[in-house]
């Protein structure tokens, strides 16, 4: 939580114009407030000590009223400039994060926890309002305004100037000291708060379980306990920030009181003039106000700064694969050499070792238990994940290249891919894409470009679902809402396959394409796979049913690495131990 | 949240009033905070007044001693302003957070009343938002709305009274202008902001939904080169939110501007009234500065009220979402005079039972079923055939028509928790709480000893796994602890169930999310550990059903076949088809372990020589 994060300032570039307007408006307001003080003290002094009547001060009062009108207009302007200043910066950040998360792909830090990331992108970034709209402009004003006020006071009374000049710098000094002292404490407590809100999530998710065991009602005590910890930790943070405001406020008001009493007493002794005294009294608080506002706005911006920290964690994660090389057109051969994938936050490798050459026109079946790295292999081939060891060489048109050197967008354009858990979004992210939009996503059209219907029908037929779509009244216009638009799980699976096949591909990667399919649908998919290979594609398919293996040319088995035993193995081991025990006659060990 | 149709009882309460009521136990603490805040603000106003008087009096060059009281007062007010403000914040925030806990308990009680069937359509994220974000937002009600407004009213009252004593006309004018600043300006801001806010919630909802969709479908959008289009869509929706933001800022700007205009009017009017009074001798000159400067300070206190009005509008959405929960009718009505369920389990009987989630669309119809003590009964069928509905009805989570009797007692006449004392449930994705494994198991029976917990874990065949963990059963699992695989998760849930020691156990697709070998191993453990219980196994996987006493096949909400394994296999239909598909899968389970790991081997493939 740095008060002036250069990364945040970079995003402020785009909104510089509005920030400047905000600062200018603030500075002009400060000048007008000085004028207002002058007019007020003039009017009062002339009536009280010079015996002036209403006629003599009327012009001053009219001018004063005009000053208020000008201030009102400026206040209105300031609000507009502030919101525009933050809006642009926020939009750029938001877009940047979405773009980067999509570029990082499914293994990136954003896509791993979609719910949390979505909150960050929406509410988290919104919380930066306080930073861009209030804190940044105020920071500049906190330098300009006190100097202007101080110079004005200097023209009136030296002693007051000295009092203000001595106490004023104490405010930032105090702020920094208090900030340093409390930072670790505040950080720790924010962590506790996030743990507590995790508890509530846990409770909501576990509610059916608690109810089944008759423990749901008694959780009220747990909520009360969590609530009181929530309160005490939050109050711990707040007490610190209230105490720092108390210190700053005391410093400011006592300094103003010091000025007031000092000018009052000197006035009584005739050392200064009445107009000067009143003018200085009205000016003094204006010197402290901007600095106190900086502190206030910084506290308000703290939440946004916390969010910004997490935003930059995402933005600073490098995109894994990025070369410029474009492989020539034609059938593609893929050679996986001793591939190993490890994630820094996991102890076990996601993919231990894999070696395979997949040639055009063949089907490679990948089998094995869960956690063996079958989907990871496909993720590496798609460029979502970088290998930790080993490499992948691709060959086409007589040339060869390391996968890492390829222009990843071009490479992905040559791949037809069916993920294990497919979503069927439309490219416009609308709530209910039509079947044509969802399947057409695979055809990789440009923005706003409709995919020709015959291409979609070809894809649907290739996935063995064309006739079923023709049989529906709404056909290609079928709305794929959250419930799948009346399609069964198996049909949706084949729609995802159709999407993968919506444009001709040299490489076909299918992750359990027959999961959740009835035998008839399974046959349709199996023949689609055979057809793809027959037309020269390089097909790699994660298989868990014999029907798919029947059409394979080679099989690659992947299993989790290390000492991890599958429950099945445990049972076999246990059975073996039991039989050994029986054979030695007794349980003497 | 847009797009969620909330069934309601038709009773419409006033959400904001309801919100206040559920936090109002803290009203005395809040009143104290309001008073402290009023003292702080009054000190600020009085500080300027006292300083002005001090200087005006000093200009008359009196003996310095006569100024001592005023000088002390000025210093005291400077101190008291800061100290009172500090005290107000401490007391106010503490009270507000206490109120928050109270409100959260209220919201939780509603969730508990409705769970799980009544809240299924909300979605987990939405419920969490209500319990956490919406409740947290309610903090604004005392802190940003009620307290600032209450203290502004008190200070205005005190200041106006004091001014009336000095100059009745000036006091009256400042009083009228105070009403404008206290009520009219915030009302105007609220009115302007309300329209923008009403459109803001849906616009934010669309933006959030699009972002969530983009994140969910990240793999597809990247792989199919649609990332650019998705980002463009997010930009468009963001523009909409931004333009509404600007409208709110406009409202706030107008409010701020109006506030300053009112302040200017008060100061100018005070001058215009007081100056002739000084000339006429009805007001001592020394008081002129006070009459003019008090309004200046007073209207500074009211400067935050437009922001309060905006906060009030922004809180409406949260208040409505919280109130909505109270309006959802309970999925199962608890009987007024519940009949007790017999302590010994004497069987379960369903006669002509029907149930529906959505009125008019029955999920189950005319179900007859008889489960006698000690039996293993399986309910099978494709997904969507009504299997999970059956589990929900038996657990008392969903109301039914016809008859369901547990040990002779009609379930709808019994208290839900009382009936559930006799039932155990292992669902498809049992929830594991973010605590230790032992504590997770102990939910089954909170007073169980460590040995009993260990025995339950052993029966669930977790002992080897526990031995590999750093702290054994005391290891923390979940979000803040070690990761738990699907198989281990279900086994922990099984241990919990075994510890609870319920005579009748419902297994609702216990192996649904597990891969083949893990699923089979779990089913074997279940068969062993629950051998002496009465079990209703709901599943679409048929392995191990040869031993079941009775298999009931559901299709589209009705019983389509019943009998033992051989009978259903002979009858053909869904059961036989599914059975042979599973045999296929077992072939696979035999094949895979014979292959080398990590290196491809040629396969006859299309030649078909398997």
Asked if A519 is an interface residue toward chain B (Cβ–Cβ < 8 A), one would say yes
> What is the spatial distance between Cα B147 and Cα B95, in angstroms, rounded to a whole number?
12
Q: What is the pLDDT of residue A366?
A: 93
Residue in B396, B402, B399 with CA at minimum distance from that of residue B418? B396
Rounded to 10 deg, the angle between the B27-58 and B68-114 helix axes is 160
Residue in B with minimal Cα distance to A209: B431
A257 at the B interface (CB within 8 A)? Answer: yes
What is the pLDDT, as a whole number, of residue A550? 83
Condensed to tens digits (0 to 9), the pLDDT of residues B462-511 reads 988 898 888 888 888 866 666 777 788 889 999 999 999 899 999 988 88
Report the pLDDT value the prediction gives residue B3, as an integer from 0 to 100. 38
Q: Under 8 Å CB-to-CB from B533, ≥6 apart: which residues?
A: B502, B503, B504, B505
Q: Is A423 helix (H, G, I), strand (E, B) or coil?
A: coil
Lowest mean pLDDT among B3-17, B82-96, B155-169, B549-563: B3-17
According to DSSP, the residues that pair with A396 across neighbouring strands are: A399
Tell me the CATH architecture of domain B15-327: Up-down Bundle (1.20)
Cβ atoms of residues B229 and A428 within 8 Å: yes
> Each residue of A406-424: pLDDT tens digit?
988 889 889 989 988 778 8
Interface contact flag, B225 A238, Cβ < 8 Å: no
CB contact under 8 Å between B234 and A203, yes or no, is no
* Res. B605 pLDDT band, cuts 50 70 90: low
Fold of A333-554: Rossmann fold (3.40.50)
Output B273 or B331, whichever has higher pLDDT. Answer: B273
Please, which residues bridge with residue A511 across strands? Answer: A542
Determine contact, residues B268/B304, Cβ cutoff 8 Å.
no
Go through chain B and tell me how many residues it has: 610
B261/A69 touch (CB, cutoff 8 Å), yes or no:
yes
Residue extents of the structural domains in chain B:
15-327, 338-422+533-590
Which of A41-45, A248-252, A445-449, B191-195 is predicted least confidently? A445-449
User: Which residue matches tokens 């405010």?
Assistant: A171
Cβ-Cβ contacts under 8 Å, B271 against chain A: 43, 57, 61, 64
Query: Mean pLDDT over residues B253-271, rounded?
Result: 95
- pLDDT surpasses 90 at B151: yes
Confidence of residue A560 (pLDDT cuts 50, 70, 90): confident
B9 lies within 8 A of chain A by CB: no
User: How many beta carbons lie within 10 A of that of residue B229, not counting itself?
Assistant: 21
Q: Which residues of B touch A103 (CB under 8 A)?
A: 222, 227
CA distance B228 to B588: 42
- The residues near B595 (Cβ < 8 Å, ≥ 6 apart) are A367, A555, A557, B601
> What percent of chain A shows pLDDT beyond 70?
88
- Share of residues in chain A with pLDDT > 90 (%): 28
pLDDT single digits (tens) A209-243: 888 888 888 888 888 888 888 888 888 878 887 88
| Residue of A397, A451, A37, A354 lying closest to B598 (CA atoms) | A354
A166: pLDDT strictly greater than 80: yes
Give long-range contacts, CB 8 A cutoff, 24+ apart: A464-467: A464/A494, A464/A521, A464/A523, A464/A524, A464/A525, A464/A527, A464/A528, A465/A491, A465/A494, A465/A495, A465/A497, A465/A498, A465/A524
Report how many Cβ contacts below 8 Å link chain A to chain B.
499
Pairing of strands B423-426, B601-602: unpaired
Least confident of A574-588, B3-17, B556-570: A574-588
Q: Is the pLDDT of residue B339 over 60?
A: yes
Statement: residue B83 has pLDDT above 90? yes
Fold of B338-422+533-590: Rossmann fold (3.40.50)
Token pair recorded at residue A368: 């094995």
- pLDDT at residue A88, as a whole number: 84
ipTM over 0.90: no
Other Cβ atoms closer than 10 A to B28: 10
Q: What is the pLDDT of residue A386?
A: 86
Q: Residues A322-377: pLDDT tens digits?
A: 788 888 988 999 999 999 998 776 667 888 889 999 999 999 999 887 778 888 89
In degrees and rounded to multiples of 5, residue B355 shows phi and psi of: -155, 155
CA B590 to chain A, closest CA, distance in angstroms equals 11
pLDDT band of residue A580 (cuts 50, 70, 90) is very low
Q: Which of residues 59 through 88 in chain A touch B, CB cutoff 8 A?
A: 61, 64-65, 67-69, 71-73, 75-80, 82-84, 87
Task: Give the residue from chain A lying closest to B50, CA to CA.
Answer: A260
Which residues of chain A lie closer than 8 angstroms to B223, CB-CB? 382, 412, 415, 417, 419
Chain A residues within an 8 Å CB radius of B229? 427-428, 447
Q: Which of A264, A321, A355, A362 to mutate to test the interface with B (most CBs of B within 10 A)?
A: A264
Q: Please list every residue in chain A whose beta carbon sits closer than 8 Å to the beta carbon of residue B70.
A: 264
Per domain, the residue ranges of chain A are: 6-315, 333-554
For the domain made up of A6-315, give the CATH fold.
ABC transporter transmembrane region fold (1.20.1560)
User: Could you tell me how far CA B361 lies from the centroid of its own chain?
Assistant: 29
Smallest CA–CA distance, residue A1 to chain B, in Å, is 23
Task: Calculate the average pLDDT of chain B.
Answer: 87
Q: Which of A46, A429, A522, A564 to mutate to test the interface with B (most CBs of B within 10 A)?
A: A429
A381-401: average pLDDT: 91
| Residue B476: per-residue pLDDT | 85
Q: Does B120 touch chain A (CB under 8 A)?
A: no
At residue A58 the predicted structure's pLDDT band, cuts being 50, 70 and 90, is: very high
Cβ–Cβ gap A204/B127 under 8 Å: yes
pLDDT (tens digit per residue) in B228-256: 888 888 889 899 988 888 888 888 899 99
Which residues in A lie closer than 8 A to residue B581 (C-beta atoms)?
A: 519
Are B529 and B355 in contact by the 8 Å Cβ rule? The answer is no
Question: Could you say which of B112, B224, B278 has the minimum Cβ distance to residue A216?
Answer: B112
Non-local (6+) Cβ contacts of A62 within 8 A are none
Q: Each residue of B185-202: pLDDT tens digit? A: 999 999 988 888 888 878
Asked whether the bond before B116 is cis by omega within 30 degrees of 0, the reply is yes
B592 touches chain A (CB under 8 A): yes
Which pair of structure tokens corresponds to residue B9?
């009882």
Helix (H) or strand (E) holding A327: none
Distances in Å between the Cα of A566 and the Cα atoms of A217, A570, B518 are 38, 6, 7
Tell me the pLDDT tens digit for each residue of A446-455: 555 677 888 8
Facing residue for A65 by CB, picked from B264, B276, B397: B264
């Amino acid at each position: 939580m740095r008060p002036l994060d250069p990364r945040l300032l970079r995003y402020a570039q785009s909104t510089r114009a509005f920030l400047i307007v905000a600062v200018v408006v603030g500075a002009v307001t400060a000048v007008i407030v000085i004028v207002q003080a002058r007019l007020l003290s003039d009017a009062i002094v002339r009536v009280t000590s010079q015996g002036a009547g209403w006629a003599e001060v009327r012009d001053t009062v009219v001018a004063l009223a005009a000053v208020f009108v000008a201030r009102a207009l400026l206040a209105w302007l300031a609000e507009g400039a502030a919101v525009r200043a933050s809006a642009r910066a926020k939009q750029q950040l938001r877009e940047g994060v979405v773009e980067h998360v999509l570029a990082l792909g499914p293994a990136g830090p954003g896509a791993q926890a979609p719910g949390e990331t979505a909150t960050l992108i929406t509410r988290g970034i919104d919380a930066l309002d306080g930073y861009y709209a209030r804190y940044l402009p105020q920071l500049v004003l906190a330098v300009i305004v006190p100097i202007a006020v101080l110079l004005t006071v200097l023209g009136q009374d030296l002693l007051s100037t000295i009092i203000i000049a001595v106490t004023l710098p104490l405010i930032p000094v105090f702020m920094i000291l208090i900030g340093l002292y409390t930072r670790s404490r505040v950080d720790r407590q924010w962590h506790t708060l996030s743990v507590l809100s995790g508890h509530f999530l846990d409770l909501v998710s576990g509610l059916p379980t608690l109810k089944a065991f008759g423990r749901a009602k008694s959780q009220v005590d747990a909520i009360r306990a969590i609530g009181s910890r929530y309160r005490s930790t939050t109050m711990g943070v707040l007490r610190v920030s209230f105490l720092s405001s108390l210190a700053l406020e005391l410093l400011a008001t006592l300094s103003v009181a010091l000025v007031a009493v000092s000018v009052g007493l000197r006035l009584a002794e005739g050392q200064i003039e009445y107009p000067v005294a009143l003018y200085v009294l009205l000016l003094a608080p204006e010197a402290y106000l901007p600095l106190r506002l900086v502190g206030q706005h910084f506290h308000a911006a703290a939440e946004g700064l916390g969010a910004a920290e997490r935003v930059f964690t995402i933005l600073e994660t490098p995109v894994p694969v990025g070369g410029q090389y474009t492989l020539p057109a034609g059938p593609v051969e893929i050679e996986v050499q001793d591939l190993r994938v490890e994630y820094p936050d996991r102890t076990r490798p996601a993919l231990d070792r894999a070696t395979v050459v997949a040639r055009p026109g063949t089907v490679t079946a990948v089998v094995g238990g869960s956690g063996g790295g079958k989907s990871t292999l496909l993720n590496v081939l798609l460029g979502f994940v970088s290998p930790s060891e080993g490499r992948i060489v691709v060959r086409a048109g007589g040339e060869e290249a390391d996968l890492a050197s390829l222009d990843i967008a071009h490479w992905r354009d040559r791949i037809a891919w069916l993920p294990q858990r497919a979503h069927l979004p439309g490219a416009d992210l609308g709530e209910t894409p039509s079947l044509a939009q969802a399947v057409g996503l695979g055809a990789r059209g440009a923005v706003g470009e409709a995919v020709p219907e015959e291409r979609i029908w070809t894809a649907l037929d290739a996935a063995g679902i064309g006739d079923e779509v023709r049989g529906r009244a709404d056909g290609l216009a079928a709305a794929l809402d959250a419930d799948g638009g009346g399609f069964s799980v198996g049909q949706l699976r084949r729609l995802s396959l159709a999407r993968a096949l919506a444009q001709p591909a040299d490489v076909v990667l299918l992750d359990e394409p027959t999961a959740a399919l009835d035998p008839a649908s399974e046959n349709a998919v199996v023949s689609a796979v055979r057809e793809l290979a027959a037309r020269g594609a390089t097909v790699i398919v994660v298989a868990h049913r014999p029907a798919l293996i029947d059409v394979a040319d080679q099989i690659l088995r992947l299993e989790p690495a290390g000492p991890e035993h599958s429950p099945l193995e445990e049972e076999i081991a246990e059975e073996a131990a039991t039989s050994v025990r029986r054979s030695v006659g007794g349980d003497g060990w | 949240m847009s797009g969620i149709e909330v069934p309601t009882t038709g009773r419409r309460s006033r959400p904001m009033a309801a919100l206040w009521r559920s936090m109002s136990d803290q009203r005395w603490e809040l009143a104290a905070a309001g008073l402290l805040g009023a003292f702080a603000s009054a000190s600020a106003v009085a500080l300027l007044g006292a300083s002005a008087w001090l200087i005006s009096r000093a200009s008359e060059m009196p003996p310095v001693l006569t100024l001592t009281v005023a000088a002390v007062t000025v210093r005291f007010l400077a101190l008291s302003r800061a100290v009172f403000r500090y005290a107000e914040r401490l007391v106010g925030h503490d009270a507000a957070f206490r109120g928050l806990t109270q409100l959260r308990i209220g919201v939780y009680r509603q969730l508990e009343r409705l769970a799980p069937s009544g809240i299924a359509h909300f979605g987990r994220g939405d419920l969490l938002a209500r319990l956490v974000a919406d409740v947290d937002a309610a903090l604004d009600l005392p802190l940003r709305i009620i307290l600032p407004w209450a203290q502004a009213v008190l200070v205005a009252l005190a200041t106006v009274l004091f001014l009336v004593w000095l100059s009745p006309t000036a006091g009256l004018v400042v009083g009228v202008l105070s009403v404008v600043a206290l009520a009219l300006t915030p009302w105007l801001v609220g009115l302007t902001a309300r329209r923008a806010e009403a459109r803001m919630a849906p616009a934010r909802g669309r933006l959030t939904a699009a972002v969530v969709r983009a994140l969910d479908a990240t793999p597809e959008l990247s792989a199919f080169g649609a990332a650019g289009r998705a980002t463009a869509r997010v930009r468009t929706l963001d523009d909409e939110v931004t333009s509404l933001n600007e409208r709110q800022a406009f409202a706030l700007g107008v409010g701020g501007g109006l506030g300053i205009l009112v302040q200017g009017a008060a100061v100018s009017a005070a001058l215009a009234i007081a100056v002739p009074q000084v000339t006429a001798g009805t007001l001592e000159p020394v008081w002129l500065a006070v009459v003019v400067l008090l309004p200046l300070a007073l209207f500074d206190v009211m400067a935050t009220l437009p922001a309060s009005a905006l906060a009030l509008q922004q809180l409406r959405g949260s208040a409505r979402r919280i109130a909505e929960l109270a309006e959802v009718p309970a999925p199962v009505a608890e009987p007024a005079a519940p009949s007790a369920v017999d302590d010994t389990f004497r069987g379960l009987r369903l006669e002509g039972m029907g149930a529906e989630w959505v009125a008019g669309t029955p999920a189950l119809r005319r179900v007859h079923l008889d489960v006698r003590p000690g039996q293993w009964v399986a309910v099978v069928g494709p997904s969507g055939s009504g299997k999970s509905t059956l589990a929900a009805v038996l657990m008392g989570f969903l109301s039914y028509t016809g008859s369901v009797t547990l040990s002779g007692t009609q379930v709808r006449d019994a208290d839900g928790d009382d009936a559930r004392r006799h039932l155990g449930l292992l669902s498809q994705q049992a929830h594991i709480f973010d605590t230790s494994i032992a504590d997770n198991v102990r939910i089954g029976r909170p007073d169980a000893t460590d040995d009993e917990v260990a025995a339950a874990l052993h029966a669930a065949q977790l002992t080897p796994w526990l031995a590999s963990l750093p702290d054994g059963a005391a290891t923390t699992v979940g979000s803040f602890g070690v990761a738990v695989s699907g198989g281990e998760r279900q086994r922990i849930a099984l241990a919990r169930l075994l510890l609870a020691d319920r005579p009748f156990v419902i297994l609702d697709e216990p192996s649904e999310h597990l891969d083949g070998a893990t699923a089979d191993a779990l089913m074997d453990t279940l068969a062993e550990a629950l051998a002496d219980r009465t079990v209703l196994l709901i599943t679409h996987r048929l392995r191990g059903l040869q031993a079941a006493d009775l298999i009931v096949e559901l299709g589209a909400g009705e019983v389509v076949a019943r009998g033992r394994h051989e009978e259903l296999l002979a009858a053909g239909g869904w059961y036989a088809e599914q059975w042979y598909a599973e045999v296929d899968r077992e072939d696979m389970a035999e094949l895979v372990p014979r292959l080398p790991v990590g290196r491809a081997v040629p396969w006859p493939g299309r030649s078909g020589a398997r």
